DNA sequence: CAGATCCGCAACCCACCAGTTGCACATTTC
DNA sequence: GAAATGTGCAACTGGTGGGTTGCGGATCTG
């Protein structure tokens, strides 16, 4: 259900380094070593974080020869937002309206 | 800023028990012992979780004599949703629209 | 081929956190 | 006043997760 998915997303976004990685990847897709070169942690640590984000469905791995490039897949964010809007919508008109919008996926 | 606030919210919502507590409180305000009586954990564990949720700004404590009743304050949820919409909005039209809605306060 | 670069896997610290128990304090109730 | 109930604080334990180092395999480049 959306329950477990939202939980995975919250767990992934709970760590500051993972939020930073996600923002960086959202700005521009990158490989693990590229990300590690701009950060104060090792490549293996970055890989672990990317695995967590990927397990939450937030990243897509694309292999090209020797390196692997990660890009954002924002769909699970919508489910997590839907959970929050459902919990808090009863007290907040703004969240309530969002809950309605999030209820049905974008008809593609 | 909204950054730190969103981080605190994600950290608070990362634990399944805290999400369950928040849903329960959203459904009906309650005290720590009331919540603990319906859950398989001790009252002190519930209190710790409520402290985390309260530190994220998601709960309001109201003392009445001997017991303390907790209720939901959903405002920080909106900030966390704003962060997510900002990160993912570039790739998802649905999230992009939400980002605009969350950007400004309730126009009513 | 040889060196360099990128990746994955495994083992190992270390810190933090969920949960517990125990005890002291405040408040209601009899 | 005394018992019962609700809360807070402190110490302890087990488990999980972030981070590191080391090594071996795969792939590009000279």
Q: What is the pTM of this model?
A: 0.86
Residue A35 near residue A21, CB atoms below 8 Å: yes
- What phi, psi does B50 have (nearest 5°)? -65, -35
The whole-number pLDDT of residue A88 equals 86
pLDDT digits (tens, 9 = 90+) for A32-76: 999 999 999 999 999 999 999 999 999 999 999 999 999 999 999
pLDDT digits (tens, 9 = 90+) for B34-51: 999 999 999 999 999 999
> What residues does B61 pair with on adjacent strands?
B70
Distance from CA of A80 to the nearest CA of B (A): 9
* Cross-chain Cβ contact B94/A105 below 8 Å: yes
Task: Please give the nucleotide, over all strands, whose C1' is closest to the CA of residue A33.
Answer: C6
Show Cβ contacts of residue B39 under 8 Å, excluding neighbours closer than 6 positions: B17, B20, B21, B46
Cβ < 7 Å from strand C, A residues 15-34: 31-33
């Amino acid at each position: 259900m959306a329950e477990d998915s939202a939980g995975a997303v919250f767990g992934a976004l709970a760590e500051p380094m993972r939020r930073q990685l996600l923002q960086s990847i959202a700005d521009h897709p990158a490989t693990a070593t590229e990300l590690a070169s701009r950060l104060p942690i090792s490549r293996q640590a970055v890989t672990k974080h990317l695995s967590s984000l990927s397990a939450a469905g937030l990243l897509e791995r694309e292999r090209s020869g020797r390196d692997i490039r990660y890009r954002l897949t924002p769909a699970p964010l919508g489910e997590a937002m839907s959970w929050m809007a459902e919990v808090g919508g009863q007290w907040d008109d703004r969240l309530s309206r969002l809950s309605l919008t999030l209820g049905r996926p974008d008809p593609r």
